[in-house]
Amino acid sequence: MFGKRAGRAAAQRSMTIETLIRSQSTINKELRKIEDMVGTGDEIPKQIESELNNLMWNYCGVVRNATSMNQGLEKLEELKSRAMNLDIRVDSYSSNELVSGFNLKASICAAEATLLSAIERRESRGSHQRSDYPDINDEQSCNYMITSDSNSQLKVSRKPLSGLKKELKENLSSTKEITNFSGKLLE
């Protein structure tokens, strides 16, 4: 529901904007990111991406615990270091490697945010299952927010839950209980 409303609002706003102005400093900053990404290195983005997928499955999978997630963070630091030495080449025919490099950096950031927030949530709730904290903990009834500081370090903070909006409450109350799970994917 929220995503649909946000999308509509963004689309309506964009229809009213004639020009989107960016400062030259912002443009230069983004160009530097591209220049820093392009170059000959020793690592291929797809290889690190594959290792990142395995890391997340093995250390932050369906059932997790603090020990494995902290090991995952340590291994993620190794991948982050390797991702600083990518072999990215751009020519007049393709910039696919550049896109792969930026996708890898974004995936590494998402993996770190997932691990940090999963470590912080010391309970099992919904699809977040921890073998070291198998029960729901009412003190953990909150949202965990991930932010980036000025040094691009991710930080975890807690945010209290807000009540459900009227429209969502109505949708939930009108939803029928599922009694037949035949043909449904369950994890």
Cα(82)–Cα(76) distance, rounded to whole angstroms? 10
Q: 147 has which bridge partners?
A: 155
User: Tokens in use for 175?
Assistant: 């939803």
* CATH number of the domain that residue 105 is part of: 1.20.58.100
In a domain, 119, yes or no: yes
CA distance 112 to 166: 34
Residue 114 inside a domain? The answer is yes
Residue at 183 is within a domain? no
Domain assignment present for 80? yes
What SS3 state is found at 136? coil
CA distance 71 to 91: 39
In a domain, 48, yes or no: yes
Contacts of 23 (CB under 8 A, 6+ apart): none
The tens-digit pLDDT sequence of the chain (187 residues) is 567 788 888 888 888 887 778 888 888 999 999 999 999 999 999 999 999 999 999 999 999 999 999 999 999 999 999 999 999 999 888 899 999 999 999 999 999 999 999 999 999 988 889 999 999 999 999 999 999 998 889 999 999 988 889 999 888 888 888 888 888 777 6
pTM of the model: 0.76
Q: How far apart are CA 86 and CA 42, in angstroms?
A: 6
Cα separation, 129 vs 119, whole angstroms: 11
CB-based contact 116:56 (threshold 8 Å): no
Range of the domain at 61: 34-124+141-163
What pairs with residue 142 in β-bridges? 160
The total of structural domains in the chain comes to 1
Residue 16 lies in a domain: no
